[in-house]
Amino acid sequence: MRPDLRAAAPWGAAALLLVSACAGQSGASGTRTSGEHGLEKAADRTTCAADAHAVATPYGGQFPDAWPFPPGTTVYHVEDRGAQGTIVTAISTSPFRSILDFLNHDVVGRGFRVESGETEAHDAEAEWQGNGHRGRWAIRESASCPGETVIQVVAATSSS
């Protein structure tokens, strides 16, 4: 494999993992279900803020301690996927547009710059890099909890 492709492969896998994690629902909070090609969903995205139980910080694995979450956010699931990175799932009582603004301004202001992304009416995602880490975030309006927003961030230590 060419060196430039070898370096990019984990990020492609991490991006695919997050997209897979965002594409479906599982059972109870924190329950993992096998997905296509053996990939597992990161967390139940039907958890509402009233039912979310905060996990301890720091989130460990390869997740950056300096990553900020918006006020009104509860991180309720963390999964260390080794070389693929650490996936953090949260629910926020803030509406989708407020979360999008936070990620594009406050998070960027903390040194995690957006490299590319896509925004639609009810969901958005972006590749990011900074502070010795890189990864992807995805947000979407909660289908189960009106006015709430699901946030998922995958992070891994960058080699450069």
Residue range 62-74, pLDDT digits in tens: 999 999 999 999 9
pLDDT number for residue 61: 81
User: What percent of the chain has a predicted confidence (pLDDT) above 90?
Assistant: 66
Query: Can you give the residue ranges of every domain in the chain?
Result: 3-157
d(CA 16, CA 10): 10
Please determine, for residue 83, whether its predicted confidence score (pLDDT) is greater than 60: yes
Q: Is-contact 151 137, C-beta < 8 A?
A: yes
pTM reported for the whole predicted model: 0.75
Amino acid at 74: T
Which tens digits make up the pLDDT trace of 18-52?
443 333 333 333 333 233 222 245 678 889 999 99
pLDDT at 37: 21
Tokens 């309720």, residue?
76
* Residues 90, 151 contacting (CB under 8 angstroms): yes
